[in-house]
């Protein structure tokens, strides 16, 4: 961040009065520009005994399997964002969303929230960001080809909790170094 998005003047980086962190400050129009974590909202879509996964068309982790998820938009509820992403990435319609897993990923300043969701029909097909979309039984989950740890954790919790029929909300911090091979 180099220039003020309001007035175009060059920004300074310093701690504002009454604050305790460096911020990007515009002395021309007296604006402090904050940068905050972003929310990724997604679903674990379920049809009968199977769960819906998408094979990623984009980096990072192109070609690996993921749950449909993406950045929450302004003026959107988390449930609306998770529903929208599931339709955009998998052309799947979901209902009855129940919050299930929450992850903090401080190294990339992202918060993930996944909802268990019922597919209203078994229909699905690859959206723009997916190479392939498919329903998987538990024994067919491609565990070695999952895109991110948050996907693996969510699926592991799901199959474990499904055995008991109780699905408590699961929170977890994913603490990693910034080495790209550990990304997410």
Contact residues: a copy of itself, CB under 8 A = 1-8, 10-11, 18, 21, 24, 33-39, 71-80, 99, 102, 104, 106-107, 109, 111, 128, 168-169, 171, 173
What is the spatial distance between Cα 105 and Cα 72, in angstroms, rounded to a whole number?
15
**Shortest distance (Å) from residue 141 CB to a copy of itself:** 26
Q: Which is nearer to a copy of itself, 29 or 138 (CB)?
A: 29
Q: Which is nearer to a copy of itself, 141 or 150 (CB)?
A: 150
Q: Which is nearer to a copy of itself, 106 or 122 (CB)?
A: 106
**Shortest distance (Å) from residue 114 CB to a copy of itself:** 13
**Shortest distance (Å) from residue 29 CB to a copy of itself:** 10
**Shortest distance (Å) from residue 137 CB to a copy of itself:** 28
Q: Which is nearer to a copy of itself, 112 or 135 (CB)?
A: 112
């Amino acid at each position: 961040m180099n220039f003020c998005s309001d007035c175009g003047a060059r920004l300074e980086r310093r701690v504002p009065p009454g604050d305790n962190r460096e911020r990007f400050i515009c002395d021309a129009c007296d604006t402090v520009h904050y940068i905050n974590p972003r929310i990724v909202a997604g679903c674990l879509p379920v049809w009968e005994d199977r769960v819906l996964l998408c094979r990623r068309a984009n980096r990072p982790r192109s070609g690996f399997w993921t749950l449909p998820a993406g950045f929450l938009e302004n003026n959107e509820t988390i449930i609306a964002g998770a529903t929208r992403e599931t339709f955009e990435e998998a052309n799947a319609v979901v209902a009855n969303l129940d919050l299930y897993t929450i992850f903090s990923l401080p190294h990339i300043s992202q918060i993930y929230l996944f909802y268990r969701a019922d597919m209203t029909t078994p229909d699905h097909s690859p959206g723009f960001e997916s190479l392939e979309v498919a329903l998987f039984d538990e024994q067919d989950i491609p565990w070695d080809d999952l895109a991110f740890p948050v996907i693996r954790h969510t699926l592991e919790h799901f199959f474990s909790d499904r055995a008991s029929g109780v699905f408590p909300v699961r929170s977890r911090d994913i603490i990693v170094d910034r080495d790209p091979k550990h990304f997410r």
